[in-house]
Structure 1
């Protein structure tokens, strides 16, 4: 005579359903689904299309040194084709001869891409200078030298043993970020100065110095990418 099939009581069946291994597996799957849904698909880097790396330090604004965080300029809700504040970032060294001789260019861009300039007639573009000290003989900068370079004041020696007030252009009106520690240079993978970036309002790199085949310089990139035609 065949034995009668064993029947599980309700509490025994519940014990199988509530198996610790099954519960762990369920939690793992749920966790992976959350990660997949919330993970940022955009890589952080300095190539076009990357999310710009962090940039936090102290910055000189003409009145003194204040806390600076690039994130405060970013609007992640911005959509392409909409108005928004674009950014031009230059990594420079106050002892770099090329930076010294082309400082007028950055000032001209700041003046032109102004919301009050009828020739531009678009949102204000924020220019940001990041001042580093390259590991090159004769490059010996300081916050005082950065101030003198920005404001074109005398008493400090910049590139080629020239007084900082002899650099090209007029005094600048945009922030100079202190990167004498080279932390930002490392984070952004900067190999030399000057190096330029154009950043979209949402923090995405739209152009860099390696992208000159498309646009010759940052100003040309901004003029073509940031302009919004009124409907």
Structure 2
């Protein structure tokens, strides 16, 4: 039982072209990178694909999985909207990976130890586990960013990008929750769950690293170094 593949993507509502409308083309490169990362999970022949994102509580979600983007301005159904509405992170995950059958939220304020324990639990759920991890970087990269400009944001995001590129679980686990909160980082807890799930050598590749609209978005894929 082990984590054999992971994909890391952001979860802005504007990732969905119908919501972005006239600005849809601005994120075409990001969408292409997300598609490549999710395709990597399919190529890994995982037994269990788990979609992981942050919310107010740590909960394993029950089917049906889906919801609507109406809270973000357009009544567009994603997945099966007949059940409980998924939080934004998992809703975008359902849009990216419509065939996924496992959805797990982690509390945004979960401490690193909690995240590590959840990661180990998820990695042990099947012989070959794949994780689709949703999370944004800092929202403080420019004066027009949601959190205005913070001079610490660029270095914080550069460290996260390097950790994702190198499949560096130790670096992700060492992220300071307090600093991440101050920089409006939505991905800290999910990334630290991923760090806890890594139980073998893995190769990382960063597919996207940019901060449109002043928010840092990363796309990465991790692959187990199998014999």
Q: Higher helix share goes to which structure?
A: 2
- Structure of greater Rg: 1
Q: Higher strand share goes to which structure?
A: 2
State the TM-score, normalized to the length of structure 2.
0.28
